[in-house]
Chain A
Amino acid sequence: MHRSNRHNLKPSAANRNLVIVPVFNESGSIRKVIMRLKRALPTFDLLVIDDGSTDDTVRQVPMGVPVVSLPFNLGIGGAMQTGYRYAALHGYDVAVQVDGDGQHRPGEVRRLVERLQEGDLDLVVGSRFLAETHYRQSFVRKFGSLVLRRIIRRLVGMDVTDCTSGFRAANRKVILAFAHWYPEDYPEPEVILLLRRAGFRIGELGVRMRHRRTGRSSISLLGGLFYVLKVTVCLLLDLVRDPWPTGKVMWHEPLPESLSTDLRWSAPAAGRSTTAHV
């Protein structure tokens, strides 16, 4: 772990940090998660992305916390990209993904951001397995993680101990890249491979995580093998994909402070500039 750039640490107050919490039917845990985050991170902004929940998840979010409510379920990729687009449009310097099921500890968010602010990384992934954290996984998940870890190491020569971790902090560069394009179905492993190929700097930080107590995991045990198969195919396809064109402006900067001004971004598929007037 590099510590050489510690003297370049910017004061956290100067940076605008956003915690993105994607939720789908997490009514049992979201209130507690948000309250914990607010308590532990008073200087951070919070954003809940409701991915088309069919229960009363949105009503459980405490007043004053912005909720972006998607009209229908887009999956974790679409939900997270919404968060990154929000972060890009509102000029945030750091965006941290924290799951709404309570697995990610608020105290670890600050550590992720501090690691990111050292300046030598563009994306910091919170790893359950980098250090001894006593985190227990099912056999299928453990097997899947191992296979994906080896595939990523083989394809891009990078050893990521927890490539399926959704606990990650991204700097402004990565926020803009994700706002432009983000994988849809199971984005965590794909993002690592694609960012690495695009020349972004990725690192891991050992974190402690809780086991989920409520809600349902997006990856069921039965679907574990299918997940590994599907992600493997996606990773192979990603070797020929160019999602983040280098040297081009992906999202126009400087970005507006509020959405009352123009929203402009380059449409990823067609490459046309789109403008929305509010």
Chain B
Amino acid sequence: MGLAFWPEGVDWVARRVLGIQYNTFALICVSVFLFLVVFELLTIVSVQDQKITTLAQLVAILMEKQKLAEPEHRPEISEQSAAET
């Protein structure tokens, strides 16, 4: 958006502020932009990864709880119900 309002901005910063060539400065800008994009995406992936891990752990714990509640996985309950019948 900044470049849309001030198209010569890159050239001005390159020559007047930094004293380097336009091409070099443009390459640096693009590189920094790409680096920031990758960094941002990695941060998002990392947070999502943590959430998925937590979710998987909770699902596994809940599944274990459910399996234990089933009579066939609890020998003492099965034996008791068999004796009653």
Q: Which residue of A lies closest to B51 (CB)?
A: A269
Q: Is the CB of B56 within 8 A of A70?
A: yes
- Are A69 and B54 also in contact (CB < 8 A) when A63-B75, A259-B65 are? no
Complex CA–CA separation, A165 to B60 (angstroms): 26
What does the 1/0 interface line of A246-278 toward B look like (CB < 8 Å)?
Answer: 000000000000111001000111100000101
Q: Which residue of B lies closest to A181 (CB)?
A: B50
Tell me whether A71 is interfacial, beta carbon within 8 Å. yes
What does the 1/0 interface line of B55-70 toward A look like (CB < 8 Å)?
Answer: 0111111111101100
Which residues 154-188 of A sit at the B interface, judged by CB distance below 8 A? 184
Tell me whether B53 is interfacial, beta carbon within 8 Å. yes
- Are A86 and B75 also in contact (CB < 8 A) when A74-B53, A269-B47, A269-B51 are? no
Tell me whether B73 is interfacial, beta carbon within 8 Å. yes
Q: Is the CB of A68 within 8 A of B64?
A: yes
Tell me whether A102 is interfacial, beta carbon within 8 Å. no
Q: Which residue of B lies closest to A49 (CB)?
A: B60
Which residues 216-253 of A sit at the B interface, judged by CB distance below 8 A? none
Tell me whether A64 is interfacial, beta carbon within 8 Å. yes
Which of these binds chain B: A20-28, A77-85, A134-142?
A: A77-85
Shortest Cβ distance from residue B43 to the other chain A in the assembled complex, whole angstroms: 11
Q: Is the CB of B56 within 8 A of A259?
A: no
Q: Is the CB of B61 within 8 A of A82?
A: yes
Complex CA–CA separation, A68 to B61 (angstroms): 6
Q: Is the CB of B60 within 8 A of A70?
A: yes
Q: Which residue of B lies closest to A64 (CB)?
A: B75
Contact residues on A (Cβ < 8 Å of other chain), bracket: 20 to 34
Q: Is the CB of A85 within 8 A of B57?
A: yes
Pick the most buried of B53, B58, B61: most chain A CB atoms within 10 A of its CB: B61
Q: State the majority secondary structure of interface residues on B.
A: helix
Shortest Cβ distance from residue B80 to the other chain A in the assembled complex, whole angstroms: 15
Complex CA–CA separation, A168 to B65 (angstroms): 25
Complex CA–CA separation, A72 to B53 (angstroms): 10
- Are A63 and B73 also in contact (CB < 8 A) when A268-B50, A269-B47 are? yes
Which residues 68-108 of A sit at the B interface, judged by CB distance below 8 A? 68-72, 74, 78, 81-82, 85-86, 89
Shortest Cβ distance from residue A78 to the other chain B in the assembled complex, whole angstroms: 5
Task: For A263, list chain B residues within 8 Å (CB).
Answer: 58
Q: Is the CB of B61 within 8 A of A72?
A: no
Q: Is the CB of B57 within 8 A of A81?
A: yes
Shortest Cβ distance from residue A120 to the other chain B in the assembled complex, whole angstroms: 31
Task: For A81, list chain B residues within 8 Å (CB).
Answer: 53, 57
Q: Is the CB of A89 within 8 A of B61?
A: yes
Q: Is the CB of B47 within 8 A of A69?
A: no
What does the 1/0 interface line of A11-39 toward B look like (CB < 8 Å)?
Answer: 00000000000000000000000000000
Task: For B54, list chain A residues within 8 Å (CB).
Answer: 267-268
Q: Is the CB of A70 within 8 A of B65?
A: no
Complex CA–CA separation, A81 to B65 (angstroms): 17
What does the 1/0 interface line of A32-69 toward B look like (CB < 8 Å)?
Answer: 00000000000000000100000000000001101111
CB<8 Å pairs between A and B, sample of 16: A49-B60, A63-B73, A64-B74, A67-B64, A68-B63, A68-B64, A72-B56, A78-B56, A81-B53, A82-B60, A86-B61, A258-B65, A260-B65, A268-B50, A269-B47, A269-B51
